[in-house]
């Protein structure tokens, strides 16, 4: 096993899966193009081939050197320390919260979901004073509404499920009245 | 030239509404460039529909001004939060962010202000003098094979920057190239890797991907440090670099202006390669290369001088050939098209007034960086005093909006957060985020020009090497890759 760790093997497995998946899916669009001899698959497959070569080279390097840095320009030696299960649990929640927020944007809309998302992020970043969470949530929400809705009139997701859609409509009506003044 | 410049200046400052647009562009570009999570591209995307109501010269001038000041503004977030405003500011973060962590944020930002202004002003002057002759030269000498060769060389250089090992540098660039293949292929319009999703047919948009890989992944990195108790608040300092310190870097500034201008002038690349190459050259010429990446002032100076020097140069292929150098110059093509104009050699004949208003505006915008930038910087440095638990949701909300408003798709927000998670995991494993982003941006340009080039030379690859510029760039790229590979094997052998 040389200097290979479980993390190295996992990393290699992920990249090899990417290589296999992208190569496999390339057959779905493997059709000739009349004006171009190499077709639509040539470029992606060359990239996939190079990625396979680099992945194998990376495993080979890690076999002899482990996580050693080659000191390339601008590189960081700062590595993730996820040995503590509590940190892993918290990071999992941190990573999933924005995905849930993004997934809710279509049905619920940004105007309703944003305050809950803002409060959740503040809490996940370690703030435990409820007063501070509420004040900062309101402040950031108003700043966001003021900048993107009132000043820039940017079209944002409103949701498509009642009563969330009605709430977005109410905010937009209020903005229209404000603009009228 | 001086007469044209004065005429352009008079047209710019002779109309109060045009002055208003200029001032809005200067302040808007700086502000959006400096707000973490959004960038000049966000502002440009928001403003694009409104330019239809402006005069063509006003619309193009507004975007040119945003380009100059936004490129500088992006350095602020790169230095303070390790969040480059756009890809061309990525090398600024290599040394700028470590300087912030070392309590030298004022010095880094001050150097960025001065060098951005110097690079931009020098570039504007050269642009005014050289646009027409260079445009004539480029029309004759630069074709798809040269652009492909340039992309290849740029990616070869980028693969050796920012990752923990050379292998991971290559993997980063290749992942970016692979992501760029999602969507329609540039020749036949065949859907690739869209998994039946209509929204993916247009490919992965740059803005959400850049926001995710840089801004969101940085939030996750800071979250992990908070969770594991390793978070250190950045130190605020208001000490600007002295004139002596800047004078000591005069060679670096001069070199970066040349590198920045030469890279920026070549179509399809823009300021990103300029900043990377200038940073790479600074390391190559330095007597203490090991100090780069740890908070060296020369790193900030090289990257910021070059990316602003490239802004003026990037206007040359845009105006002379109609080829955009990056995302913002691509939006400028849209501004031209909205007014039934096509950027290209004819613009010089049909709309010389427009050209010289834009040139004059870019010169004054770079001058404004020097004046407004120094005042604004002290205000922006106070952002560092805001606790990160309150800054993080603000950045995420701004990023969410920035990702959404480009195309009005929730999918782009999801892509941004997925890129953030992917970027976080890759960063913590020693991969290079700038490498991924550069691969993503240059992938489609590279493929398109390779295909066009091959059709042009009737699939005879040997013809590529009979074109001197193309042969030189490919040889330089191969040499860069071969040197990296040799170093990779050598270091492995030494350890074994």
Per-residue pLDDT tens over the stretch A87-111:
888 899 999 999 999 999 999 999 9
pLDDT tens digits for A44-83? 999 999 999 999 999 998 888 877 766 555 555 555 566 6
Mind telling me how many Å the CA of A114 is from chain B's nearest CA? 8
CB B403 within 8 A of CB B209: no
**What is residue B477's predicted lDDT score, i.e. its pLDDT?**
87
Tokens standing for B226? 């908070």
Instruction: Name the closest residue on chain B to residue A91, using Cα atoms.
Output: B224
Count of positions (residues) in chain A: 181
Q: Which of A10, A39, A60, A73 to mutate to test the interface with B (most CBs of B within 10 A)?
A: A73
Q: What is d(CA B3, CA B11) in angstroms, rounded to the nearest whole number? A: 12
Closest CA to B372 of B80, B26, B118, B90: B26
In a domain, B277, yes or no: yes
Residues 6+ apart with CB under 8 A from B351: B56, B57, B341
**What is residue A77's predicted lDDT score, i.e. its pLDDT?**
52
- Number of CB pairs, chain A paired with chain B, less than 8 A apart: 239
Closest CA to B165 of A118, A38, A64, A20: A64
CB A45 within 8 A of CB A26: yes
Q: What is d(CA B57, CA B62) in angstroms, rounded to the nearest whole number? A: 8
Q: What is d(CA B147, CA B33) in angstroms, rounded to the nearest whole number? A: 28
Question: Is the alpha carbon torsion for A17, A10, B437, A148 positive or negative?
Answer: positive
Domain count, chain B: 1
Mind telling me how many Å the CA of A3 is from chain B's nearest CA? 11
Residues forming a β-bridge with B161: A73
In a domain, B50, yes or no: yes
Residue-number span of the structural domain to which B451 is assigned: 2-487
Which pairs count as long-range contacts for A138-142, CB under 8 Å and 24+ apart, including other chains?
A140/B390, A140/B393, A140/B394, A140/B397, A141/A114, A141/A115
CB A77 within 8 A of CB B164: yes
Q: What is d(CA B161, CA A70) in angstroms, rounded to the nearest whole number? A: 11
In a domain, B179, yes or no: yes
pTM value?
Answer: 0.77
**What is residue A53's predicted lDDT score, i.e. its pLDDT?**
94
Residues 158-177 of A with CB under 8 A from B: none
CA–centroid distance for B393 within its chain: 25
pLDDT tens digits for A131-176? 999 999 999 999 999 988 888 788 899 999 989 999 999 999 998 8
For this complex, say whether ipTM is above 0.85.
yes
Mind telling me how many Å the CA of A1 is from chain B's nearest CA? 13
**What is residue B266's predicted lDDT score, i.e. its pLDDT?**
64
Name the helix (H) or strand (E) containing B192.
strand B191-192
Closest CA to A123 of A110, A113, A114, A132: A132
Is residue B265 classed as helix, strand or coil in its secondary structure?
Answer: helix
DSSP B311: H
Per-residue pLDDT in tens (0 to 9) along chain B, 496 residues: 777 888 888 888 888 888 899 988 888 888 777 766 566 776 777 677 677 778 888 888 888 888 888 888 888 878 887 777 676 787 888 888 888 888 888 888 888 888 888 888 888 888 888 777 776 676 677 788 988 887 888 788 777 766 788 889 899 999 999 999 999 988 888 999 988 888 888 888 877 887 788 778 878 888 888 887 777 666 666 667 777 877 888 888 899 998 888 887 765 556 777 888 888 888 878 888 777 877 888 889 988 899 888 888 888 777 776 666 666 777 787 788 777 777 766 777 777 788 888 888 888 888 888 887 777 766 766 666 778 888 889 889 988 988 888 788 899 999 999 999 999 999 888 888 878 877 887 788 889 889 999 998 888 888 888 889 899 989 988 998 888 888 777 766 665 5
In a domain, B193, yes or no: yes
**What is residue B393's predicted lDDT score, i.e. its pLDDT?**
92
Is residue B322 classed as helix, strand or coil in its secondary structure?
Answer: coil
Using CA atoms of B217, B222, B223, B224 in order, give the dihedral in degrees to the nearest 10: 90
Instruction: Name the closest residue on chain B to residue A90, using Cα atoms.
Output: B227
CB B232 within 8 A of CB B221: no
Instruction: Name the closest residue on chain A to residue B46, using Cα atoms.
Output: A154
B74 touches chain A (CB under 8 A): no
CA–centroid distance for B78 within its chain: 12
B360 touches chain A (CB under 8 A): no
Q: Within chain A, what is the greatest distance between any pair of CA atoms?
A: 73
Q: Which residues of B touch A44 (CB under 8 A)?
A: 178, 181, 192-193
Tokens standing for A88? 């892993």
């Amino acid at each position: 096993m040389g200097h290979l760790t479980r993390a190295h093997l996992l990393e290699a497995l992920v990249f090899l899966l990417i290589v296999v998946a992208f190569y496999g899916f390339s057959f779905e669009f493997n059709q000739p193009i009349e004006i171009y001899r190499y077709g639509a698959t040539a470029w992606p497959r060359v990239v996939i081939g190079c990625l396979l070569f680099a992945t194998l080279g990376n495993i080979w390097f890690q076999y002899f050197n482990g996580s050693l840095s080659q000191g390339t320009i601008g590189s960081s030696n700062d590595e993730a320390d996820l040995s503590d299960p509590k940190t892993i649990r918290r990071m999992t929640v941190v990573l999933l919260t924005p995905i849930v927020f993004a997934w809710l944007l279509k049905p619920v809309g940004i105007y309703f979901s944003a305050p809950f998302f803002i409060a959740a992020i503040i809490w996940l970043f370690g703030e435990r004073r409820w007063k501070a969470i509420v004040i900062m949530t309101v402040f950031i929400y108003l700043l966001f509404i003021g900048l993107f809705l009132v000043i820039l009139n940017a079209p944002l997701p409103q949701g498509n499920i009642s009563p969330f859609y009605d709430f977005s409509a109410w905010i937009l009506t209020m903005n229209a009245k404000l603009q009228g003044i | 030239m001086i007469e044209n410049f004065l005429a352009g200046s008079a047209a710019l400052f002779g109309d109060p509404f045009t002055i208003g647009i200029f001032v809005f562009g200067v302040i808007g570009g700086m502000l959006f460039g400096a707000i973490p999570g959004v960038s000049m591209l966000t502002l440009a995307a928001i403003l694009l529909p409104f330019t239809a109501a402006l005069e063509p010269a006003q619309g193009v001038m507004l975007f040119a001004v945003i380009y100059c000041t936004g490129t500088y503004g992006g350095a602020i977030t790169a230095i303070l939060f390790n969040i480059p405003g756009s890809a061309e500011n990525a090398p600024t973060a290599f040394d700028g962010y470590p300087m912030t962590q070392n309590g030298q944020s004022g010095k880094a930002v001050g150097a960025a202000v001065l060098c951005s202004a110097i690079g931009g002003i020098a570039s504007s002057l050269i642009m005014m003098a050289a646009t027409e002759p260079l445009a004539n030269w480029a029309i004759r000498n630069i074709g798809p094979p040269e652009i492909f060769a340039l992309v290849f060389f740029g990616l070869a250089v980028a693969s050796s920057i920012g990752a923990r090992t050379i292998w991971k540098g290559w993997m980063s660039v290749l992942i970016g190239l692979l992501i760029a293949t999602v969507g329609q292929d540039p020749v036949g319009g065949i859907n690739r890797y869209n998994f039946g999703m209509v929204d993916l047919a247009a490919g992965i948009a740059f803005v959400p991907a850049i926001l995710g890989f840089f801004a969101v992944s940085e939030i996750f990195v800071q979250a992990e440090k908070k969770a594991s108790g390793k978070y250190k608040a950045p130190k605020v300092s208001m000490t600007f670099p002295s004139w002596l310190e800047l004078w000591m870097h005069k060679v670096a500034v001069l070199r970066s202006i040349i590198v920045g201008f030469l890279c920026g002038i070549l179509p399809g690349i823009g300021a990103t390669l300029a900043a990377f190459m200038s940073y790479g050259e600074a390391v190559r010429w330095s007597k203490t290369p090991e100090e780069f990446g740890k908070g060296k002032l020369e790193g900030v100076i090289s990257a910021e001088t070059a990316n602003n020097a490239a802004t003026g140069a990037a206007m040359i292929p845009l105006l002379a050939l109609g080829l955009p150098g990056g995302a913002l110059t691509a939006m400028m093509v849209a501004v031209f098209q909205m007014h039934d104009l096509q950027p290209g050699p004819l613009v010089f004949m049909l709309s010389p007034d427009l050209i010289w208003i834009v040139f004059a505006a870019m010169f004054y915008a770079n001058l404004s960086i020097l004046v407004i930038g120094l005042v604004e910087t002290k205000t922006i440095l106070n952002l560092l005093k805001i606790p990160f638990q309150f800054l993080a949701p603000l950045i995420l909300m701004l990023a969410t909006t920035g990702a959404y408003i480009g195309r009005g798709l929730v999918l782009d927000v999801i892509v941004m957060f997925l890129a953030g998670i992917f970027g976080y995991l890759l960063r913590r494993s020693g991969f290079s985020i700038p490498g991924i982003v550069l691969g993503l941006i240059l992938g489609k340009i590279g493929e398109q020009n390779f295909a066009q080039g091959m059709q042009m030379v009737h699939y005879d690859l040997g013809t590529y090497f009979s074109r001197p510029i193309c042969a030189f760039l490919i040889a330089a790229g191969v040499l860069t890759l071969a040197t990296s590979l040799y170093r990779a094997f050598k270091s492995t052998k030494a350890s074994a």
